[in-house]
Chain A
Amino acid sequence: MPYFGDQEARSIIRDTYSRVRSDGTAVAEAFYAHDELAGVPAEAVAMALGVGHPVRHAALRTGESVLDLGCGAGIDTLLAASAVGPSGRVVGLDMTPEMAARARRNAETGGFDHVEIRAGLIEELPLPDSSMDVVISNGVLNLSTRTSRVLAETMRVLRPGGRVSITDLVLAEALPEDVLKSPAALAG
Protein backbone atom coordinates (compact mmCIF):
# COMPACT_ATOMS: atom_id res chain seq x y z
CA MET A 1 0.00 0.00 0.00
CA PRO A 2 1.55 3.33 -1.04
CA TYR A 3 1.72 5.91 1.73
CA PHE A 4 2.65 8.81 -0.56
CA GLY A 5 1.01 10.00 -3.76
CA ASP A 6 3.01 11.06 -6.82
CA GLN A 7 3.11 14.75 -6.04
CA GLU A 8 3.83 14.35 -2.34
CA ALA A 9 6.59 11.84 -2.98
CA ARG A 10 8.20 14.10 -5.59
CA SER A 11 7.99 17.05 -3.25
CA ILE A 12 9.67 15.13 -0.41
CA ILE A 13 12.40 13.81 -2.70
CA ARG A 14 13.06 17.19 -4.36
CA ASP A 15 13.26 18.87 -0.98
CA THR A 16 15.61 16.24 0.43
CA TYR A 17 17.97 16.20 -2.55
CA SER A 18 18.01 19.97 -2.95
CA ARG A 19 19.22 20.32 0.64
CA VAL A 20 21.70 17.44 0.85
CA ARG A 21 25.35 18.39 1.30
CA SER A 22 28.41 16.18 1.46
CA ASP A 23 32.15 16.66 1.41
CA GLY A 24 32.95 13.03 2.21
CA THR A 25 33.76 10.16 -0.10
CA ALA A 26 32.40 7.21 1.90
CA VAL A 27 29.61 6.35 -0.54
CA ALA A 28 31.78 6.69 -3.64
CA GLU A 29 34.59 4.62 -2.15
CA ALA A 30 32.14 1.81 -1.41
CA PHE A 31 31.39 1.30 -5.10
CA TYR A 32 34.01 2.85 -7.37
CA ALA A 33 37.72 2.25 -7.93
CA HIS A 34 40.16 5.01 -6.98
CA ASP A 35 41.33 5.46 -10.56
CA GLU A 36 37.73 5.95 -11.68
CA LEU A 37 37.14 8.58 -9.01
CA ALA A 38 40.31 10.40 -10.01
CA GLY A 39 38.77 11.10 -13.41
CA VAL A 40 35.72 13.05 -12.20
CA PRO A 41 35.41 16.35 -10.32
CA ALA A 42 35.56 16.19 -6.53
CA GLU A 43 32.02 17.49 -6.09
CA ALA A 44 30.61 14.64 -8.16
CA VAL A 45 32.54 12.16 -6.01
CA ALA A 46 31.43 13.76 -2.74
CA MET A 47 27.81 13.83 -3.86
CA ALA A 48 27.68 10.19 -4.95
CA LEU A 49 24.42 8.89 -3.50
CA GLY A 50 23.90 5.71 -5.50
CA VAL A 51 23.70 2.11 -4.39
CA GLY A 52 26.00 0.43 -6.91
CA HIS A 53 27.97 0.92 -10.11
CA PRO A 54 25.71 0.65 -13.16
CA VAL A 55 28.43 1.80 -15.57
CA ARG A 56 30.52 -1.25 -14.64
CA HIS A 57 27.78 -3.57 -15.93
CA ALA A 58 26.76 -1.49 -18.96
CA ALA A 59 29.57 -2.70 -21.27
CA LEU A 60 29.72 0.75 -22.86
CA ARG A 61 31.47 1.13 -26.20
CA THR A 62 33.10 4.10 -27.86
CA GLY A 63 30.59 6.32 -29.61
CA GLU A 64 27.46 5.08 -27.85
CA SER A 65 24.66 7.30 -26.55
CA VAL A 66 23.75 6.92 -22.88
CA LEU A 67 20.91 8.25 -20.73
CA ASP A 68 21.40 8.43 -16.94
CA LEU A 69 18.03 8.41 -15.15
CA GLY A 70 18.21 10.54 -12.00
CA CYS A 71 21.79 11.60 -12.53
CA GLY A 72 22.20 13.49 -9.25
CA ALA A 73 25.48 15.38 -9.20
CA GLY A 74 26.64 13.32 -12.15
CA ILE A 75 29.17 10.72 -11.08
CA ASP A 76 27.74 7.93 -13.25
CA THR A 77 26.99 10.35 -16.09
CA LEU A 78 30.64 11.39 -16.17
CA LEU A 79 31.98 7.85 -15.85
CA ALA A 80 29.75 6.88 -18.77
CA ALA A 81 31.04 9.89 -20.70
CA SER A 82 34.60 8.69 -20.14
CA ALA A 83 33.64 5.22 -21.35
CA VAL A 84 31.94 6.30 -24.58
CA GLY A 85 34.48 9.02 -25.34
CA PRO A 86 33.94 12.32 -27.15
CA SER A 87 32.40 10.58 -30.16
CA GLY A 88 29.59 9.40 -27.86
CA ARG A 89 26.84 11.32 -26.14
CA VAL A 90 25.58 11.20 -22.57
CA VAL A 91 22.39 12.78 -21.24
CA GLY A 92 21.90 13.13 -17.49
CA LEU A 93 18.35 13.71 -16.29
CA ASP A 94 17.30 14.78 -12.81
CA MET A 95 14.04 16.24 -11.50
CA THR A 96 15.76 18.28 -8.78
CA PRO A 97 17.00 21.55 -10.30
CA GLU A 98 19.80 21.87 -7.72
CA MET A 99 21.12 18.41 -8.61
CA ALA A 100 20.89 19.08 -12.34
CA ALA A 101 22.83 22.32 -11.80
CA ARG A 102 25.51 20.43 -9.87
CA ALA A 103 25.80 17.81 -12.58
CA ARG A 104 26.03 20.51 -15.26
CA ARG A 105 28.75 22.28 -13.29
CA ASN A 106 30.66 19.04 -12.78
CA ALA A 107 30.47 18.19 -16.48
CA GLU A 108 31.84 21.63 -17.32
CA THR A 109 34.57 21.42 -14.69
CA GLY A 110 35.62 18.01 -15.99
CA GLY A 111 35.64 19.19 -19.61
CA PHE A 112 32.97 16.71 -20.70
CA ASP A 113 31.66 18.55 -23.76
CA HIS A 114 29.65 15.55 -24.92
CA VAL A 115 27.50 15.55 -21.76
CA GLU A 116 24.12 17.26 -21.63
CA ILE A 117 22.23 17.67 -18.35
CA ARG A 118 18.49 18.13 -18.38
CA ALA A 119 15.96 18.77 -15.63
CA GLY A 120 12.94 16.51 -15.95
CA LEU A 121 10.95 13.52 -14.77
CA ILE A 122 12.04 9.95 -15.33
CA GLU A 123 8.37 9.07 -15.89
CA GLU A 124 8.22 11.48 -18.87
CA LEU A 125 11.57 11.25 -20.60
CA PRO A 126 12.26 14.33 -22.74
CA LEU A 127 13.82 12.31 -25.54
CA PRO A 128 12.60 10.94 -28.89
CA ASP A 129 11.70 7.30 -29.47
CA SER A 130 14.60 4.93 -30.20
CA SER A 131 17.22 7.61 -29.62
CA MET A 132 19.59 6.03 -27.05
CA ASP A 133 21.88 3.01 -27.07
CA VAL A 134 22.03 2.50 -23.31
CA VAL A 135 20.08 3.64 -20.23
CA ILE A 136 21.71 3.55 -16.81
CA SER A 137 20.38 4.47 -13.38
CA ASN A 138 21.68 4.23 -9.84
CA GLY A 139 19.38 4.02 -6.83
CA VAL A 140 16.63 6.06 -8.44
CA LEU A 141 13.96 3.67 -9.66
CA ASN A 142 12.74 2.99 -6.12
CA LEU A 143 12.11 6.71 -5.65
CA SER A 144 9.37 6.67 -8.27
CA THR A 145 5.81 5.75 -7.39
CA ARG A 146 5.43 4.60 -11.03
CA THR A 147 8.28 2.20 -11.68
CA SER A 148 6.51 0.47 -14.58
CA ARG A 149 5.96 3.82 -16.25
CA VAL A 150 9.69 4.60 -15.92
CA LEU A 151 10.59 1.25 -17.47
CA ALA A 152 8.09 1.76 -20.30
CA GLU A 153 9.64 5.16 -21.01
CA THR A 154 13.08 3.56 -20.90
CA MET A 155 11.93 1.00 -23.44
CA ARG A 156 10.56 3.78 -25.65
CA VAL A 157 13.76 5.82 -25.84
CA LEU A 158 16.06 2.83 -26.37
CA ARG A 159 17.00 1.81 -29.86
CA PRO A 160 16.08 -1.78 -30.81
CA GLY A 161 18.77 -3.92 -29.22
CA GLY A 162 19.54 -1.13 -26.72
CA ARG A 163 20.61 -2.02 -23.19
CA VAL A 164 19.81 -1.05 -19.62
CA SER A 165 22.04 -1.29 -16.57
CA ILE A 166 20.24 -0.31 -13.41
CA THR A 167 21.17 -0.61 -9.76
CA ASP A 168 18.44 -0.20 -7.22
CA LEU A 169 17.25 -1.19 -3.77
CA VAL A 170 14.79 -4.01 -3.31
CA LEU A 171 13.16 -5.51 -0.25
CA ALA A 172 13.72 -9.12 0.65
CA GLU A 173 11.26 -8.76 3.52
CA ALA A 174 8.62 -6.14 4.27
CA LEU A 175 9.59 -3.07 6.26
CA PRO A 176 7.55 -2.06 9.31
CA GLU A 177 4.71 0.37 8.64
CA ASP A 178 6.45 3.08 10.68
CA VAL A 179 9.34 2.97 8.23
CA LEU A 180 7.11 2.96 5.15
CA LYS A 181 5.35 6.08 6.45
CA SER A 182 8.63 7.92 7.02
CA PRO A 183 9.47 10.69 4.52
CA ALA A 184 13.18 10.17 5.32
CA ALA A 185 12.93 6.51 4.36
CA LEU A 186 11.07 7.42 1.16
CA ALA A 187 13.77 9.85 0.05
CA GLY A 188 16.56 7.47 0.92
Chain B
Amino acid sequence: MLLKKFFNVGFEAIAVVERRWFGLADLARYPLFTPEFLEFMGKVMPPHRHNELVSSIAVTARKPVARR
Protein backbone atom coordinates (compact mmCIF):
# COMPACT_ATOMS: atom_id res chain seq x y z
CA MET B 1 0.00 0.00 0.00
CA LEU B 2 2.76 2.48 0.93
CA LEU B 3 4.73 1.72 -2.24
CA LYS B 4 1.61 2.25 -4.33
CA LYS B 5 1.24 5.70 -2.80
CA PHE B 6 4.81 6.53 -3.83
CA PHE B 7 3.95 5.39 -7.34
CA ASN B 8 0.66 7.28 -7.45
CA VAL B 9 2.26 10.64 -6.71
CA GLY B 10 4.81 10.09 -9.47
CA PHE B 11 7.99 8.76 -7.88
CA GLU B 12 10.18 6.42 -9.91
CA ALA B 13 12.89 3.89 -9.04
CA ILE B 14 10.90 2.95 -5.91
CA ALA B 15 12.70 0.27 -3.93
CA VAL B 16 12.44 -1.36 -0.53
CA VAL B 17 16.11 -1.50 0.45
CA GLU B 18 15.71 -2.91 3.97
CA ARG B 19 13.06 -4.70 5.98
CA ARG B 20 12.99 -5.91 9.57
CA TRP B 21 10.34 -7.16 11.92
CA PHE B 22 9.26 -5.26 15.01
CA GLY B 23 7.98 -7.30 17.93
CA LEU B 24 6.99 -6.58 21.51
CA ALA B 25 10.63 -6.65 22.66
CA ASP B 26 11.46 -3.97 20.09
CA LEU B 27 8.57 -1.78 21.22
CA ALA B 28 9.82 -2.06 24.81
CA ARG B 29 12.92 -0.06 23.84
CA TYR B 30 10.80 3.00 23.14
CA PRO B 31 9.93 5.49 25.89
CA LEU B 32 6.71 6.16 23.96
CA PHE B 33 5.17 2.97 25.31
CA THR B 34 4.18 2.41 28.92
CA PRO B 35 4.47 -1.00 30.61
CA GLU B 36 0.66 -1.03 30.70
CA PHE B 37 0.46 -0.58 26.93
CA LEU B 38 3.01 -3.32 26.33
CA GLU B 39 1.06 -5.64 28.63
CA PHE B 40 -2.13 -4.77 26.74
CA MET B 41 -0.42 -5.57 23.44
CA GLY B 42 0.82 -8.86 24.84
CA LYS B 43 -2.72 -9.83 25.77
CA VAL B 44 -4.54 -8.64 22.68
CA MET B 45 -2.05 -9.94 20.11
CA PRO B 46 -1.90 -13.68 19.47
CA PRO B 47 1.37 -15.24 20.70
CA HIS B 48 2.55 -16.13 17.20
CA ARG B 49 2.67 -12.41 16.37
CA HIS B 50 4.57 -11.22 19.45
CA ASN B 51 7.83 -11.16 17.49
CA GLU B 52 6.25 -9.91 14.25
CA LEU B 53 3.80 -7.12 15.04
CA VAL B 54 4.81 -4.80 12.23
CA SER B 55 7.62 -4.40 9.72
CA SER B 56 10.04 -1.53 9.47
CA ILE B 57 10.93 -0.85 5.86
CA ALA B 58 13.38 1.52 4.24
CA VAL B 59 12.12 2.91 0.95
CA THR B 60 14.12 4.90 -1.58
CA ALA B 61 12.71 6.62 -4.65
CA ARG B 62 13.42 9.45 -7.07
CA LYS B 63 11.51 12.36 -8.55
CA PRO B 64 11.60 12.07 -12.34
CA VAL B 65 13.77 14.57 -14.15
CA ALA B 66 10.88 15.22 -16.52
CA ARG B 67 7.48 14.98 -14.81
CA ARG B 68 4.96 12.68 -16.43
Contact = CB atoms under 8 A, between A and B. Distances in A.
Contacts of B1: 170
A151 interface: yes
Interface residues of B, number: 42
B63 A161 contact: yes
Contacts of B32: 16-17, 20, 49, 184, 187-188
Contacts of A165: 58-60
A95 B17 CA distance: 28
Contact of A188 (B8, B9, B27, B44): B27
Contacts of B53: 175
Contacts of B45: 175-176, 179
B11 A51 contact: no
Contacts of A53: 58
A170 B29 contact: no
Interface string B4-25: 0110111100000110101000
A54 B17 CA distance: 10
Contacts of B10: 155
A160 B18 contact: no
A55 B52 CA distance: 25
A161 B10 CA distance: 12
Given A52-B18, A155-B11, A160-B66, A172 B54 contact: yes
B34 A151 contact: no
A179 B41 contact: yes
Given A24-B31, A141-B2, A184-B33, A164 B22 contact: no
Contacts of B40: 178, 182
A41 to B, nearest CB: 18
Interface string A46-69: 000101111011100000000000
A75 interface: no
Given A22-B31, A166-B58, A168-B56, A179 B63 contact: no
A20 to B, nearest CB: 5
Interface of A: 16-17, 20-22, 24, 26-27, 30, 49, 51-54, 56-58, 139, 141, 147-148, 151-152, 154-155, 158-173, 175-176, 178-179, 182, 184-185, 187-188
